[in-house]
Structure 1
Amino acid sequence: MSVDPNLLTPFKKTPAGESSLREISADAYYVINEVVVKRLGHLPIYKGDFHLLPPKVQRFVAEKAELMRPRGIYICDGTEHESEEIVDKLVERGMLSPLKAYHNNYICRTDPKDVARVESKTWMVTNDKYDTVCRTAEGVEPLMGHWMSPNDLSTELDSRFPGCMAGRIMYVIPFSMGPVGGPLSKIGVQLTDSNYVVLSMRIMTRVTHEVFDVLGNSDFTRCIHSVGLPRPVKQRVINHWPCNPDRVLIAHRPPEREIWSFGSGYGGNSLLGKKCFALRIASNIAKDEGWMAEHMLIMGVTRPCGQEHFIAAAFPSACGKTNLAMLEPTLPGWKVRCVGDDIAWMKFSKEDGRLYAINPEAGFFGVAPGTSKKTNPMAVATFQANSIFTNVAETADGEYYWEGLEDEVKDKSYHPNSRFAAPARQCPIIHPKWEDPQGVPIDAIIFGGRRPAGVPLVFETNSWLHGIYTGACLKSETTAAAEHKGKSVMHDPMAMRPFMGYNFGKYLQHWIDLEQPGRIMPKIYHVNWFRKSAEGKFLWPGYGENIRVIDWIIKRLDGVEGIGKETAIGTVPTPESLNLDGLDGVKLDELMSVPKEYWAEDAVEVKNFLTTQVGEDLPAPIRNEMEQQEKRINDM
C-alpha cells in the first residue's frame, strides 16, 4: 500500500507555529499510525490506550508530544478514580490543601505574578489583520482584540514550545462544551502539563472518554497549554505553582480552531474550554454556522401563575451576572432557576423560529470577593463540596475567607484575584433543563453594567437594531478580573471586549443578519443596579430585589399596556408600574431619570468611541441608530 509521502512530513519537522492537521484517509491511516507510534518512541503512556484514540487525535497528540517532549502521556477519562489520584499527588506535593471544614474542597495559591486573565498577552491570529480588529482611526489602538500575524506567531511559538514539557507528564483531556453529542455542543481536546488544569477542566467542562466516540467526521478544537517551566527547574517555584509569567502567551487561530497557551496556569489562560474556546473560537464558529456565542447568563424565571420565561443577560465581570443567574426573589410566588452564569450558545430553531440557548459549561468559575450568603446564597451552597478555591484565605478552622465574608468569618485576609470552581449540578436552583441538548427558548436579552450616574434602573430598547446599538454602547467600571486598576468607566461592548474573536464591526453585522423573516426576535433591555445618589449611596437595593425589574420586563413581554414611558434612549417604567411593595425609601424619580446633559455628553463620547474604534467597519444600520438616538437626545 502506498501513501502520499507529504502526509508524513509533519513528523519529520513541524515548527510549533505551523499547522499540520490535515485530515487523513482510512487507507493512509495504517501507514501513518506506524509512523506515529515510532515517533513516540519509548515515551510511556501512564494511563489510557493510545491506540484507542481516534486517528486524528492520535496524530494531534503525537505531533505535540514530539514538539514539547514530555516524559509521558496521561489520557484522561473523567472518572472519580482519576480525580482522586491527581488530588492525592497534588496534596502530597503541597500545591493543594484540603479545607477540613468541608467535604472534598481544596485550596491552592498561585504565584502572585500569575493572574487569571492577561488581556495584553492574548492574541487572535489571522492572515488578514482586519478579520481580527476593526479599521480604527489613525493612531488609535484597537480595544477589541489583539492581532498577530501567522509568521509572528510561528516565531513566538518556536521560541517557547519546543521541549517545554520536559520532565513533566502531558495530560490529554477530551472535553465537550455542552452535553456530549448535543446539536449545539462542540468538542475540544486539551493537552496540558498542569494537574491543576486537569482538575479544573473536570469541573468546568464535560471530561469523558465518550467525547472520542462522538467525534466521528466532526472536527475538534485543538488546545495546547503548558506552564512553560520544563524540568529540571532552575528558578524558585512560589507556592508550589509552576509558571513562567514573563513569557505568557495566549494565542488563538480561529481558521484552524486552535489555541496555544504558554506560561500561565491560572483561570481562562489555562482552562482553555472557558473564554478561549467558548467565546473567542466559538464566536468564529458561530459566525460561520449562523448562531451566537455570547458572554451571557441564562436564567429561567417562573411567575406566581406558573408561567416560565427564559432570559439571557450580558454583564461585564463583577457586575452581578452570577448573582442574577442565582437570584433569590423577594416577591412572593416567584422562582428563579439557573441554566448558566457566564456563557450562552444560542441558535434559532427552524421549527418554531425561537432562539434556543445552552450553557456550554459544566461548572461555575466565580470571582470569590463579594460572594456571600447575603449576596449569593445559592453560589455559596454550590461550593460547599467538590470545589477548588484559588488564592482565597484559609482560617484556623479550615474555612475559606475573602472580602465580603466579614460578618461570617473572623479572619481578615484575602486576595483580590481569587476564584472558586464548583460543579453546576450542585447548585440548589440549577434548572432541570440545564443539560437539555436542545436548549431553552430565550424571550429577552438584557445588557447591563456598573454605571454610577445617569443611566436608569431599566429600559427597553426600541427594536432589535436599537438593542444591538445599546449593547454596542455598554460601559462599566473596571474590575480585578482584568489588568485595569481603579474604578474608571470603560467601554465593554456586548460585555465582549476582552473576549472578541473577530472584527467587532463584522460581529455587529452578524447580530443584524440574525433578524430574518419567520424568526421571533427576543426583546432587548438594559439594566443598571449601581446608580448612586449625589451622596454616593446606591439608589437601588439590588440582589433579590432585582426580581421587581424582571417582573416589569416580563409584563412588557406580555404586552401589558400603560406601564412604559418613552424616552430618548428607550422605554422606562412608569412610576406605578414597578412593584415596590415592602420597599421604603426608593427614590424612583431619580432612579429612572434620563438627564439630558448627561446623555448629550454620553452621545458625543459614544460617537467618538464608535467612530475611532470601529470606524468604517461600523455597519450602516448601527450608525443610523446612533444618529437617531443622538437626535432624540438633542430634542429632549
Structure 2
Amino acid sequence: MKNSDLNSLSAVMDKSSLEKLQALHNPDLHKFIAEAVRLCCPDRVLVCDDSAEDRELIRQLALQLEEETALVQPGHTVHFDAFKDCRLHDQSRDKAHTRYLLPHGQNLGPGIATLEREAGLGEIKELLRGIMTGKVMLVRFYCLGPAHSPFSIPCVQITDSAYVAHSEDLLFRTGYAEFKRLGAFNRFFRMLHSAGRLEHHVCADLVRRRIYIDLQEDLVYSVNTQYAGNSVGLKKLALRLAIRKADQEGWLAEHMFVMGVHGPHGRKTWFTGAYPSACGKTSTAMLVGESLVGDDLAYLRTCEGEVRAVNVERGMFGIIENVNPTDDPELYRVLHEGREVIFSNVLVHEGRPYWLGMGEPLPHNGLNYAGTWCEGKVDSCGQAIAPSYRGNARFAVSLDELRNLDARVDDPAGVPLAGIIYGGRDRETSVPVLESYDWVHGVVTMGACLESETTAAAMGAEGVRAFNPMANLDFLSIPLAHYLRNHLAFGCALSRPPRIFSTNYWLRNAEGAFLNAKHDKAVWLKWMERRIHGDVDALDGPTGRLPRYEDLKALFTEVLDCPYTRDDYRQQFGLKIPQELARIERVETCLHQAAGMPAVIFDMLNGQRRRLHWWQQRVGDLLLPGELEGD
C-alpha cells in the first residue's frame, strides 16, 4: 500500500479494519478506498470481511442508526424511504438524475442519458465532498455470480448507510475471500454511495440526488438517496456495468429469472425469463413444484456448445404488494416465518407489517413511509396516501429461506439453459404462450419487440404500451442496436441454442375479464418444457408455434386438476391480426430511432407482416387455431 494511501486510511481505521484491508494485496482497491476517504471525510472507516460477526455488526448498526426498526418477529426489521409528497420522494429510480459519464463527443443513442465525463465527475465529487463527516464509512465486499467461477465479478461497496450494507448482505454473495484469492487485479466493480444529510433517518436533500455511472472506471456514484434502486449498487446499477463488460467479452447480462421446470420421469429443464415490472416474473419463478435458482438477474455464457446461466444474486428483493397465501404461499410463509427479513415502505401496526393485497384486512392506522398514518390521510398535493407504497413496498430476504431453492444455485459452472421466456402485460393481442421458429425469430419478435402495458399504480395511466426490449431497456449501457446484435450473434454461434418462448398472463375479453386464471401459468410452463423435449407437437402460425388443444387439455387436468374447454382455447389462442400488425408498426417505429439496427430485424418483422396479411386475406381479422389444424 502506498504511503499516502496508508496515511489516509490509518487515521480513520482501527487495527482490525486496517489489517483486513492490508490482507488484500490489491493496490487499485487500496487507492479507491483511500480516495473515497479523502473525498467524503468520514469520522471512522469500518472494513468488513465475510464473517458472521461482521454481518451481525452491520445489522445492529442499522438498528442503532434507526435506518431500520425492529418488528415483533425476531430478525424482522422495517425501513422507510423518504416521502415528502407525491412530487418529492425517494420511492423510485431517479431516471432524471441517472447518467452515464462518457468522454466528450460520445453518446449511447436515443433514450440513454449521458453526461460529459469530466463535468459529471466534477459535479458528483463536489456533492460527495465532506458528506460523511460525523458518520461511519462502511466498506463491504461482494461477488456477483458464484465465487471462483467464470461468471464471478468481485465488487466493493462503500456506503455510509447501514441499511444499504445490510440489504446487500441479504441479497448478494460475500466477496472478501474472492478479493483475497485474486490478489492484484483491477477489473472489479466499485460503488461509492452516501445517503447524505438525514432528517428523521431519511434523506433530506432529495433535490441534490444524483446517480452517475463512470463506465471507464466501472464505478457507480450515488448520493442523497436511500431508495435501493439508487443506492444498492449491486442491483440494477451493477447490471449496467455488467452489460458493458458482457459486450466486451462476448456473453450476456440480463434482467431474467433462472429456474428449473420439472418434467416427466424426474427430468428438470432450465429456463430463464425476462419480464418488465409487474408482469409476473417473480410469480413464475416461484411456481409451486418448480425449482428456483434466481428471480431477477442472470449472466449467460456459452460453454462447450451450450448456454450456461447463473443467478447473479443470492437473495430476493421483491415488491410485496399482492403477496398473499393463496397466490404466493412460499413467499408469504417466508415473510411471516423467515429468520431475517427487511421490509420497506409497508404499514406497521403494533410491530407487525401490513401491505396491500396481503389477503387480510389492513389496520385503520399505523406508521408508514409518510409518518403516522390513518385512513383518509392525504399529502400536501391532496393525493391520498396509501397504507403501503404502491410499487415500492418491498421485502429483502436471503434465498436460503426458500424451500424451493435449487441445490445448484451456487454451481460455478451454472445450469444448462434450454429455454428463454419473454413476457409482457398485454390485454388484447398476445396469446398466453407461443414458441418462436428459431433463435433469430425469437430474439426479434419476442425479445426485441417486447412491449408491456403500464399499470395505473405504476405510471398514473393504465394500458399505456411501453417498448422494452428484453425487459432491459432501462439498464442498457451500450447502444440498443449493438445490444440486439449481441443477442443475435450469441445464439447463432450454437448448433442448438435455447428455445425461445413468449407468455402473456393478462389477456382479456371484450368485457374486460381476464381470460387466464393466475395459476394457468403453471400449464404454460409445463407445455414449454415438453416442447423442448419433443413430447408435444405445435401448430405453425404466422407469429410462431401455438399449443394444440388436446395437449393443453391434458396438462390442465394433470397440473391443475381442472377442465379446459375448446371455447377457452379459442378465446385465448385466436390471433387478432389487426392488433398483431399494429404492434409491428409500433415496434418498427421505435427500432428505427436507433442507429445501426441490424437489417435482419426488419427482415424478420416484414416476414411476420407478410404471413399475417396472407392469413387476413384468407380468414379475416381473427385467426382461430382450428384454421391452422385444418378444422
TM over 0.5: yes
Q: What aligned pairs does 1:224-263 form with structure 2 within 5 A after superposition? A: 224-229=192-197, 237-238=199-200, 240-263=201-224
Match 1:76 to one of 48, 52, 72: 48
1:214 paired to 2:181: yes
Residue matched to 1:345? 299
Q: Do the aligned residues in 1 keep the contact of 2:297 with 2:312 (CA within 8 Å)?
A: yes
In the alignment, residue 299 of structure 2 is paired with which amino acid? W
Q: Do the aligned residues in 2 keep the contact of 1:174 with 1:207 (CA within 8 Å)?
A: yes
Q: Secondary structure of the residue that 1:356 maps to in structure 2?
A: strand
Residue matched to 1:450? 425
Q: Do the aligned residues in 2 keep the contact of 1:457 with 1:592 (CA within 8 Å)?
A: yes
Aligned partners of 1:123, 1:94: CA distance in 2, in Å? Answer: 30
The Cα shift of 1:408 comes to: 6.7
In the alignment, residue 448 of structure 1 is paired with which amino acid? G
Extract structure 1 runs of 4+ deviating beyond 6 A: 480-484
Q: Secondary structure of the residue that 2:287 maps to in structure 1?
A: coil
Moved more, 570-579 or 38-47: 38-47
The Cα shift of 1:466 comes to: 1.0
The Cα shift of 1:631 comes to: 1.7
Aligned partners of 1:481, 1:271: CA distance in 2, in Å? Answer: 23
Q: What aligned pairs does 1:90-489 form with structure 2 within 5 A after superposition? A: 90-100=62-72, 102-112=73-83, 113-127=89-103, 132-133=108-109, 142-143=110-111, 145-218=112-185, 219-229=187-197, 237-238=199-200, 240-277=201-238, 279-328=239-288, 335-350=289-304, 353-383=305-335, 384-396=338-350, 398-407=351-360, 413-416=387-390, 417-470=392-445, 471-478=447-454, 486-489=462-465
Aligned partners of 1:483, 1:120: CA distance in 2, in Å? Answer: 15
Q: Secondary structure of the residue that 2:276 maps to in structure 1?
A: coil
CA change 1:472–1:517 in 2 (3 A) is closer
Once the two structures are superposed, what CA deviation does each residue of 1:58-95 show, in whole Å capped at 9, x if it has no partner?
11110111111111111022433334333334434433
Aligned partners of 1:597, 1:577: CA distance in 2, in Å? Answer: 28
For structure 1, the residue ranges without an aligned partner over 5 or more in a row are: 1-28, 134-141, 329-334
Residue matched to 1:16? none
Aligned partners of 2:429, 2:176: CA distance in 1, in Å? Answer: 52
Once the two structures are superposed, what CA deviation does each residue of 1:320-342 show, in whole Å capped at 9, x if it has no partner?
111111101xxxxxx30100000
Match 2:579 to one of 593, 598, 604: 598
1:621 paired to 2:580: no
Match 1:43 to one of 12, 15, 18: 12
Match 2:476 to one of 492, 497, 500: 500
Moved more, 531-540 or 44-53: 44-53
CA change 1:560–1:182 in 2 (3 A) is same
Aligned partners of 2:3, 2:344: CA distance in 1, in Å? Answer: 43
Q: What aligned pairs does 1:458-607 form with structure 2 within 5 A after superposition? A: 458-470=433-445, 471-478=447-454, 486-543=462-519, 545-560=520-535, 563-578=537-552, 579-581=555-557, 582-584=561-563, 587-607=568-588
Aligned partners of 2:205, 2:105: CA distance in 1, in Å? Answer: 28
Aligned partners of 2:348, 2:220: CA distance in 1, in Å? Answer: 34
Q: Do the aligned residues in 1 keep the contact of 2:256 with 2:273 (CA within 8 Å)?
A: yes
Aligned partners of 1:247, 1:47: CA distance in 2, in Å? Answer: 35
CA change 1:253–1:109 in 2 (3 A) is same
Aligned partners of 2:455, 2:492: CA distance in 1, in Å? Answer: 37
Q: Percent identity?
A: 28
Q: Secondary structure of the residue that 1:635 maps to in structure 2?
A: helix
In the alignment, residue 349 of structure 1 is paired with which amino acid? C
CA change 1:244–1:600 in 2 (3 A) is same
- Normalising by structure 1, we get a TM-score of 0.86
CA change 1:320–1:47 in 2 (3 A) is farther
Q: Secondary structure of the residue that 2:265 maps to in structure 1?
A: coil
CA change 1:193–1:243 in 2 (3 A) is farther
Q: Do the aligned residues in 2 keep the contact of 1:72 with 1:168 (CA within 8 Å)?
A: yes
The Cα shift of 1:46 comes to: 8.0
Q: Do the aligned residues in 2 keep the contact of 1:474 with 1:491 (CA within 8 Å)?
A: yes
- Normalising by structure 2, we get a TM-score of 0.87
Q: Secondary structure of the residue that 1:580 maps to in structure 2?
A: helix
CA change 1:486–1:546 in 2 (3 A) is closer
Once the two structures are superposed, what CA deviation does each residue of 1:320-372 show, in whole Å capped at 9, x if it has no partner?
111111101xxxxxx3010000011010103xx11001101010000011112
CA change 1:156–1:631 in 2 (3 A) is farther
Residue matched to 2:611? 632
CA change 1:109–1:46 in 2 (3 A) is farther
Residue matched to 2:371? none
Q: Which has the higher contact order (CA 8 A, sep 6+)?
A: 1
The Cα shift of 1:195 comes to: 0.8
The Cα shift of 1:573 comes to: 1.1
Aligned partners of 1:245, 1:215: CA distance in 2, in Å? Answer: 38
Q: Secondary structure of the residue that 1:176 maps to in structure 2?
A: strand
Aligned length: 574
CA change 1:193–1:517 in 2 (3 A) is closer
Aligned-residue Cα RMSD (Å) equals 2.1
Q: Secondary structure of the residue that 1:305 maps to in structure 2?
A: helix
In the alignment, residue 79 of structure 2 is paired with which amino acid? C
Q: Do the aligned residues in 2 keep the contact of 1:310 with 1:444 (CA within 8 Å)?
A: yes
